Amino acid sequence: MIEGLSHMTFIVRDLDRMTAILTGIFDATEVYASGERTFSASREKFFQVGGFWIAVMEGEALPMRSYNHVAFKIDDAELGAYEARIKALGLEILPPRTRVPGEGRSIYFYDEDNHLFELHTGTLAERLERYAKGKAAV
């Protein structure tokens, strides 16, 4: 039986750069760094973000960008502050996608390894309630 999500792993060229992103944007706490030792496939670091485990491992960047992404829940009132954090790190923020009212707001941004992240203000329950009302985005 699945008990829940264990962790997410991101392969990155620069562990220090990803550390700056995770700590600077997501308020992550670094809980482990392998240094030059490797117990896994490569050097790695572990972080806690909102009680969730994120692993980053040294390796090659994704060959291209896609819409595959991970979304983190934030409060709507904090959207502007998070946008400022992303801009301060020089990361590319995508234009907002078309949405229907009531499904929350988002900021999408890429890191240098082609990972897409989303900061989202809505919940699944809110989105399903809005979709049940019909009338798609234009």
Closest to 72 measured CA to CA, from 87, 54, 45, 98: 54
The catalytic residue among 44, 58, 92, 103 is 44
Q: How far apart are CA 82 and CA 46, in angstroms?
A: 22
Q: How far apart are CA 58 and CA 43, in angstroms?
A: 6
Q: Which residue has the tokens 């896994």?
A: 40
78 catalytic per annotation: no
The whole-angstrom separation of Cα 48 and Cα 98 is 32
Q: Catalytic residues, which ones? A: 44
